[in-house]
Structure 1
Amino acid sequence: MLNEVLNLFQEKSSFFINLLYQHLQISFIAVMIACIIGLVIGIIISEFNKSSKYVLAIINFVYTIPSISLLGFLIPFSGIGDNTAIIALTIYALLPMVRNTFTGIENIDDAIIEAAKGMGSTRFQIIYKIKLPLAMPVIMAGIRNMITMTIALAGIASFIGAGGLGIAIYRGITTNNTSMTIIGSLLIAILAIVIDLILGIIEKRILSRKYNLKKDFKIFVSAIVCISLIIGALTFYKNKDDNQVIHLATKPMTEQYIIGSMIKEMIEEKTDIKVEVTQGVGGGTSNIHPGMVSGEFDMYPEYTSTGWNMVLKHDGFYNEEMYDDLVKEYSEQFNFTWTGILGFNDSYGLAVRKEIADKYNLKTYSDLAKVSDELVFGGEYDFFERPDGYNALSEKYNFKFKKTMDLDIGLKYKAINEGKVDVMDIFTTDGQLSASDVVVLKDDKEFFSTAMGAMVVRDEILNKYPQLEDVFNEMEGILNDSEMAKLNYMVETEGKDAEAVAHDYLVKIGLLK
């Protein structure tokens, strides 16, 4: 395992270093904002002491809100991506900053403050020259806790399409790549430890020079300003040609990583356009579509029935005879175009553990319905929310499962292989189907819709880069169900890299040299 981790890091070092930079950037911006706001709030409530219990109570309450819930609440207001992640991380970082600033100032000996007043110091001078320098050791302890917590929590930013090392963790889980998950986790831990050690040295210096606290405070502020300028300069340099780049998003699924890599490579090979990929956006369509509407993303791979049911909010069965209506409604409502039908149908299905299928002689969904009250059903979050998902399926077949379990899309097969669930929804192109001890049942009442893979692109992008149509036309029909399943298998079971699998396939079919 250690060799696998080291080899993967060596092979994809630029990938991990880029994610590390993104992680540091998101965390640092959030920490800087929290430091400024938290310091101001801490000073204010220490000056107006009666307000402290109310302010601290409010911040404590916000701190108890689960991070996923807070991200979901913020998305309608700030969209998806780095901005929302930074806002959420800033909110969580406020508590230790406010609390330690307030505590540090409150613990200063009153006699020192009275002596300063007696010597004619103004309120501002007392705060800046006496209270803050004397409170710095306590404030520094709060900053250390805040930064460690923020770096760890920033891993969840990938769920809403932001950058950072959470992408490696989530992608590793989704593609069954333990080494990638380990590297992402270790880098977060190492980053937190290194920064905590640096801050520990600064804190120790402050504590050991009691008569130079004012000077150390100025040095600390100057260091923060310098680091902020460096991060800002690097960000500006990285994004200076952003108007020359199109943004592609993918869902947290192996085949989406593969398709995303194909699209990126084809566009960059056939045109002068650069493609920036946001991989594995948590929530899939639920978060990517709002990003398309706001212009944060320009295109993404989608499935026809998902567009019909999840985005257009139509109930009931979808088939490809409705495709023209799907295209028309997307154009009218969103100014989006469906293009590049890739040729495979990744529709839903149901699979049961083989021992369960053998025990009850299960062949069809109707067979399953007769014993459903004895079984546990597991599905990803989207499946329980879709109008053509769990509730409608249960009504159609009269399923009454003993228990249901929400599972991340990357953990379903692990759960059923370990016996945690008996039945689960699957995709017909899942690579792990052939490697898992499960039986796929027959949808005897033809409940599930077809789900052809294609690209959804903002019209503005197609008008700006008309050469994209030629690329998408070349990719029409390049995959079928079995080929897509084979590619997924190569990534999920054989441990191959999604980008390499995508490239090799494009070469194999003659689209790339």
Structure 2
Amino acid sequence: MFRELIQFYSERSDFFLPLILEHLQISMIAIIIATIIGISVGIFIAENKKTSPIILGIVSFLYTIPSISMLGFLIPITGIGNKSAIIALSIYALLPIIRNTYTGIQGVDKDILEAAKGMGSTRFQILLKIKLPLAFPVILSGFKNMTVMTIALAGIASFIGAGGLGVAIYRGITTNNITMTIAGSLAVAILAFLADFLIGIFERYIQNRHHSQKQKKRVVTALLVVVIVFSASLFYVPHQGKMVHIATKPMTEEFIIGEMMKLLIEDRTDIQVEMTKGVGGGTSNIHPAMVKGDFDIYPEYTGTSWSFVLKETTISDEETLYKQLVSQYEQQYQLTWLGLYGFNNTYGIAVTKQLADRYHLKTYSDLASISSQLIFGSEYDFYERDDGYNAMANANDFHFKKTVDLDIGLKYDALKKGEVDAIIAFTTDGQLSDSQIVLLEDDHHYFENYYAGTVIRQETLEKYPELKSVLMLLNNQISEQEMAKMNYQVETEKQNETAVAKAFLVKQGLLEESK
């Protein structure tokens, strides 16, 4: 494994180095914000003790909110991306710095304070010249804990389309790439350890009496300048020409399709493409971001748009449904559907071959007869969809004894290990090629069709009309078998999704091999 990690870091350095820098930038900005607010609030409650129980209680309550929930609360207000991630991280970082500032100031010897008052020092002078310097070691200890925690927690930011090493972790889980997941996790751990180590060195330097106060002030000032400049560079956007932003759901095939669109756009136009892969929550987060203008293009599925976005229940023939879908998207959301790729990635139910053989399972009806003995697993959003778990269970008379929420990248692993007995699958999943996995027949024809296609903002299309002909190159180009094969190449053979996408485009004559 160690050799694999070294090789992975070497081969994918162009992927990892920007993530490390962005991870540090996001963390540092949150740390700076939390430090300024935290020390200010800590001083305030220390000087106004009656407010301390209320403020510390509020901050402690915020600290108990799960990070995923916090990000979910922020999305409707501040949208997805780095902004929401920084706000969430800053909120979580407040408690240790506020508490340590308050504790440090309260711990200053009362006799020293009385002596200062007797010498005629003002309240502000006592705070600035006595309380804060004496409380500094305690404040610095809280700062160190807060820094390490923030760097570690920043990995969750990728769930809402922010950058950092969480991108590698989440993408590794989604594509069943254990090496990428471990590489991302190890990088986060190393950054947190280095931060703890360096702050420890700084702490010892400041407490060393051999260094003059002037030297210490110079070191502190220099460090602050470096941190602020490095963090501010996250907001620096160099002058760019034409640019579009593509988003994808946390699915292997969407990673691949996103790369196809990027390759075609940059090959056939002078438009640059920014990619945000694996946005947590899928359609529930990407669609509002598209309407808002945070994203320009993303791959979507007709069934999801019809049922989940438009809340339609009546299913007509495919041609009529697609026409109505296109019309309603343009009228309600100013979004345009640009063709369909050709494959139908609908839902299905998968079990292990061992279970299918034991109970002679071939259809959903067969599964219903023994469902009360089985555990069912699926990704989180399937349980909340109108056409999801409850509707499926009612339509097929399923009565599973237990349901489990699983990340999309972990469900096949959980199935093979026996942690669940049946899972929701996508019919183009690469892991369905495994001979030990059986996809049951939907004999009740419950699941509708989910044809994949491109959704683009009308405003983007008006700005860059050349995108229409480029994106339409993918129309009817990918079959279910071809999509499943590409998913298998990424998930099982561990090929890079960019290379897989490029090879397919070359094969179809849509891209020159040298590109």
State TM-score, norm by structure 2: 0.96
CA drift at 1:217:
5.8
Q: Distance in 2 between matches of 1:87 and 1:210?
A: 40
Q: Which runs of 5+ in 1 are unaligned?
A: none
**Contact kept? 1:317, 1:447, Cα under 8 Å:** no
1:109 maps to 109
**Contact kept? 1:298, 1:457, Cα under 8 Å:** yes
CA drift at 1:396:
0.7
1:353 maps to 352
Alignment RMSD:
1.6
- Aligned pair in 2 of structure 1 residues 185, 92: CA closer, same or farther (>3 Å)? same
Deviations 1:482-507 (A, max 9, x none): 00000000011111111111111111
Provide the aligned length of Structure 1 versus Structure 2: 511
Secondary structure in structure 1 of the residue aligned to 2:398: coil
Structure 1, 309-318 or 348-357: larger mean CA deviation: 309-318
2:156 is the alignment partner of 1:159: no
Residues 199-210 of structure 1: matches in 2 within 5 Å?
A: 199-209=199-209
Structure 1, 143-152 or 187-196: larger mean CA deviation: 187-196
Residue 402 of structure 1 aligns with an amino acid whose one-letter code is K
Secondary structure in structure 1 of the residue aligned to 2:116: helix
Q: Distance in 2 between matches of 1:340 and 1:503?
A: 20
Residue 289 of structure 1 aligns with an amino acid whose one-letter code is H
2:94 is the alignment partner of 1:94: yes
CA drift at 1:315:
2.8
Deviations 1:41-64 (A, max 9, x none): 000001011211221111111111
Q: Distance in 2 between matches of 1:257 and 1:61?
A: 37
Q: Distance in 2 between matches of 1:295 and 1:191?
A: 33
CA drift at 1:222:
4.9
- Aligned pair in 2 of structure 1 residues 119, 167: CA closer, same or farther (>3 Å)? same
Q: Distance in 2 between matches of 1:391 and 1:450?
A: 19
Q: Distance in 1 between matches of 2:240 and 2:57?
A: 42
Q: Distance in 2 between matches of 1:7 and 1:122?
A: 62
Q: Distance in 1 between matches of 2:401 and 2:42?
A: 51
- Aligned pair in 2 of structure 1 residues 219, 6: CA closer, same or farther (>3 Å)? closer
Q: Distance in 1 between matches of 2:221 and 2:146?
A: 17
2:382 is the alignment partner of 1:383: yes
CA drift at 1:73:
1.3
Residue 91 of structure 1 aligns with an amino acid whose one-letter code is I
Q: Distance in 1 between matches of 2:365 and 2:352?
A: 16
Secondary structure in structure 1 of the residue aligned to 2:299: strand
Residues 237-386 of structure 1: matches in 2 within 5 Å?
A: 237=236, 239-241=237-239, 244-315=242-313, 317=315, 320-321=318-319, 322-386=321-385
1:189 maps to 189
Structure 1, 52-61 or 327-336: larger mean CA deviation: 52-61
Deviations 1:200-248 (A, max 9, x none): 111111222399568736742552243212331x3354x2235732111
Residue 28 of structure 1 aligns with an amino acid whose one-letter code is M
1:130 maps to 130
**Contact kept? 2:412, 2:431, Cα under 8 Å:** yes
CA drift at 1:280:
0.7
CA drift at 1:312:
1.1
Deviations 1:415-450 (A, max 9, x none): 101111111110010001112512111111111111
Residues 206-245 of structure 1: matches in 2 within 5 Å?
A: 206-209=206-209, 216=216, 219-232=219-232, 234-237=233-236, 239-241=237-239, 244-245=242-243
**Contact kept? 2:244, 2:273, Cα under 8 Å:** yes
**Contact kept? 1:304, 1:452, Cα under 8 Å:** yes
**Contact kept? 1:317, 1:448, Cα under 8 Å:** no
Secondary structure in structure 2 of the residue aligned to 1:344: strand
CA drift at 1:24:
0.6
Q: Which runs of 5+ in 2 are unaligned?
A: none
Deviations 1:388-421 (A, max 9, x none): 1111111111111111111000001001011111
**Contact kept? 1:129, 1:214, Cα under 8 Å:** no
Residue 464 of structure 2 aligns with an amino acid whose one-letter code is Y
Secondary structure in structure 1 of the residue aligned to 2:259: helix
CA drift at 1:135:
1.1
1:406 maps to 405
Q: Distance in 1 between matches of 2:119 and 2:435?
A: 79
- Aligned pair in 2 of structure 1 residues 79, 185: CA closer, same or farther (>3 Å)? same
**Contact kept? 1:350, 1:440, Cα under 8 Å:** yes
Q: Distance in 1 between matches of 2:316 and 2:399?
A: 25
1:68 maps to 68
- Aligned pair in 2 of structure 1 residues 70, 85: CA closer, same or farther (>3 Å)? same
CA drift at 1:151:
0.5
Q: Distance in 2 between matches of 1:493 and 1:364?
A: 27
Residue 166 of structure 1 aligns with an amino acid whose one-letter code is G
**Contact kept? 1:252, 1:279, Cα under 8 Å:** yes
State TM-score, norm by structure 1: 0.96
2:13 maps to 13
Structure 1, 52-61 or 259-268: larger mean CA deviation: 52-61
**Contact kept? 2:22, 2:234, Cα under 8 Å:** no
**Contact kept? 1:133, 1:214, Cα under 8 Å:** no
Deviations 1:248-304 (A, max 9, x none): 111111101101111111101111111010111111111111211221111111111
Q: Distance in 1 between matches of 2:241 and 2:294?
A: 12
2:490 is the alignment partner of 1:465: no
CA drift at 1:10:
1.2
Q: Distance in 2 between matches of 1:474 and 1:498?
A: 19
2:142 is the alignment partner of 1:145: no
Structure 1, 155-164 or 283-292: larger mean CA deviation: 283-292
Deviations 1:365-390 (A, max 9, x none): 11111111111111111111111111
**Contact kept? 1:308, 1:318, Cα under 8 Å:** no
CA drift at 1:117:
2.3
Q: Distance in 2 between matches of 1:424 and 1:355?
A: 15
Deviations 1:319-350 (A, max 9, x none): 52300111111111110001131111111011
- Aligned pair in 2 of structure 1 residues 100, 183: CA closer, same or farther (>3 Å)? same
- Aligned pair in 2 of structure 1 residues 39, 154: CA closer, same or farther (>3 Å)? same
Secondary structure in structure 1 of the residue aligned to 2:50: helix
**Contact kept? 1:318, 1:449, Cα under 8 Å:** no
**Contact kept? 2:9, 2:16, Cα under 8 Å:** yes
Structure 1, 173-182 or 106-115: larger mean CA deviation: 106-115
**Contact kept? 2:171, 2:181, Cα under 8 Å:** yes
Deviations 1:81-113 (A, max 9, x none): 111111110010000000011111111112222
Q: Distance in 1 between matches of 2:287 and 2:317?
A: 21
